[in-house]
Amino acid sequence: MRETPRSQGTAGETGSEHPQHRPGRAIAHTTGASGSGTPHRSDGRSPQTPRGARQTDHGGRPGTTPPVPGRPAPLLFLLPLLLAVLAFVTWQVAADGPLRRLDERIGRSAAGHGPGRLTEFLADLGNMQVALPVLGCAVVYALVRGARRLPLYAALAMAAVPALVVPLKDWIGRTGPLTGETGYYPSGHATTAAVAYGAAALLIAYRTTPSKRSWMMPVAAVLLTVATGIGLVLRGYHWPLDVLAGWCLSGLLLVALSWSSGRSRRRQPPK
């Protein structure tokens, strides 16, 4: 008699009976089964808890999915540095230290240089009539984009400028480069420009999809702030340390505002 052809799965077995299940052996060698040369989990089917897709924390351990809010922004570490610089400069100016004398020599030599119209224009960037409309437009833009708390925080940061600058002016009582009047330290114009343009950049960047042009607004804010300080010194309206102190004050406010912006981003996903 001709033997009944045996299937490929029973090749090498003796007898023509159906294959019996043996302990430790798979009944059929299918893709992804044990003994087939591939893992038990099919490569074409995503696992329910993919370990490779889970994000890791700072220590390299598997994290949660989705990730939990991280630590405070690294910008917060600038706060001690800004406070230290402001305290040191204020001490030197108030105590008539060597840094103040050097500052006044540099200020006298720099005053009057540069094109008059250009330096006057740069100094005017710190006027409330110029800086506040820029910030107001950014506040409206952020409100339209769905921001609620951050515009309020930006307005509070701007309102804090005179609350911080005026008492320091009265306490230090520094005279200006061209006049004998007091109340020039720190520079209110430099502080106003930095807070207005920096806060505007944060408001415009809020809930905006990151792109290759995301760097443009922060860079523009820095350039406008630096240009304002240069104009104030070249026109003889302020000493260089007046401007530096104003930047330190504005930096404190902007770091707090940036931290608030980061918390708002984590609470509410971008549109």
pLDDT in tens, 149-191: 889 999 999 999 999 999 999 999 999 998 888 999 999 999 9
3-class state of residue 87 by DSSP: helix
pTM summary value:
0.69
User: Among 62, 224, 200, which Cα is nearest to 127's?
Assistant: 224
Q: What is the pLDDT of residue 164?
A: 95
Instruction: Characterise 239 by phi-psi region: left (phi > 0), alpha (psi -120 to 50), beta (else).
Output: beta
Please give the mean pLDDT across all residues of the chain: 78
pLDDT in tens, 74-118: 666 788 999 999 999 999 999 999 999 999 999 999 999 999 999
Query: pLDDT grade, residue 211 (50/70/90)?
Result: low
Distance CA 91, CA 101 (A): 13
Distance CA 30, CA 36 (A): 7
Provide the 8-state DSSP code for 72: P
